[in-house]
Structure 1
Amino acid sequence: MTTTPVVDGRTRHYGDFYGLSEPEGDGAVALVVGNCQAESLRIALEGGGLRTVRTPAVHELVATDLPHLARWLARAELLVSQPVRDDYHGLPLGTAQLAAALPARARVVRVPVIRFAGLYPAHAIVRPPSDASLVPPVVEYHDLRLVVRAAARGGAVDAPSPLPPLRPESVRAVAELSRAELRRREEAHDAVVVSDLFDRPSFAQMRTLNHPGNPVWRSLAERVRRRLALPEHEVDPGRPLLDSVHAPREAVVVEAFGLDEAPTDHWVVGGRRVEAAEVEEAHLGWYADHPEVVTAALARHEDALRLLGLS
Structure 2
Amino acid sequence: MNGAPNVLAAVAPEDASVVQRREHYGEFFGLSPLPDRYGVVVGNCQAESLRIVLDAPDRRFVRVPPVHEMTAEEAGRLQVLVAGAAVVVTQPIRADYRGLPLGTAQLSSATSGAVLTVPSVRFSGLQPFQAAIRVPGVEEDPPIVAYHDVRTLAAAAGVPARSALRPDDVRDIAGDSLDELRTREQHIDVPVSDLYAAPTADHARTVNHPGNAIWMPLGARLIDALGLAGEVTDPGRPLLASVRSPLAPEVIEAWSLPEEPRAHWVVEGRAVDDAEVRDAHRRWYAAHPAFVDAALTRLAPLLSRWQHR
Query: TM-score by structure 1 length?
Result: 0.89
Equivalent residue in structure 1 for 2:258, among 257, 260, 264: 260
TM-fit CA distance, 1:230: 2.4
Say how many residue pairs are matched: 292
SS in 2 for 1:273: strand
Could you say which residue in structure 2 is the equivalent of 1:45? Answer: 54
CA contact (8 A) 1:117 1:209 kept: yes
- Unaligned runs of at least 5 residues, structure 1: 1-5, 154-161
Could you say which residue in structure 1 is the equivalent of 2:68? Answer: 59
Give deviations 1:95-145, integer Å, cap 9, x for gaps.
Answer: 110111113xx11100100110110001011211233x2321111111101
CA contact (8 A) 2:132 2:208 kept: no
Q: Name the amino acid aligned to 1:109.
A: L
Could you say which residue in structure 2 is the equivalent of 1:158? Answer: none
Could you say which residue in structure 1 is the equivalent of 2:141? Answer: 135
CA contact (8 A) 1:74 1:101 kept: yes
CA contact (8 A) 1:171 1:308 kept: no
Consecutive aligned runs of 4 or more in structure 1 exceeding 4 Å deviation: none
Q: Name the amino acid aligned to 1:121.
A: P
Task: Say which structure is richer in helix.
Answer: 2
Equivalent residue in structure 2 for 1:146, among 142, 152, 169: 152
- Unaligned runs of at least 5 residues, structure 2: 1-15
Q: Name the amino acid aligned to 1:262.
A: E
Q: Name the amino acid aligned to 1:185.
A: R
Could you say which residue in structure 1 is the equivalent of 2:166? Answer: 167
Could you say which residue in structure 2 is the equivalent of 1:244? Answer: 242
Please give the alpha-carbon distance, in whole angstroms, between the structure 1 residues aligned to 2:232 and 2:106: 30
SS in 2 for 1:139: coil
Query: TM-score by structure 2 length?
Result: 0.90
CA contact (8 A) 2:26 2:32 kept: yes
Could you say which residue in structure 2 is the equivalent of 1:87? Answer: 96
SS in 1 for 2:60: strand
Give deviations 1:28-76, integer Å, cap 9, x for gaps.
Answer: 3101000001001001001275211110000011012134213212210
Please give the alpha-carbon distance, in whole angstroms, between the structure 2 residues aligned to 1:8 and 1:164: 46
Give deviations 1:256-297, integer Å, cap 9, x for gaps.
Answer: 111112110100111111111110100000000111121122
Q: Name the amino acid aligned to 2:147.
A: Y
Q: Name the amino acid aligned to 1:35.
A: N
CA contact (8 A) 1:23 1:52 kept: no
Please give the alpha-carbon distance, in whole angstroms, between the structure 2 residues aligned to 1:271 and 1:304: 29
Q: Name the amino acid aligned to 1:114.
A: V
- 1:19 paired to 2:30: yes
CA contact (8 A) 2:162 2:306 kept: no
Give deviations 1:186-229, integer Å, cap 9, x for gaps.
Answer: 11x22311101111111111111111111211011011112222
SS in 2 for 1:98: helix
SS in 2 for 1:268: strand
CA RMSD after TM alignment: 1.9
Which piece of structure 1 moves more, 178-187 or 232-241?
Answer: 232-241
Q: Name the amino acid aligned to 2:24.
A: H
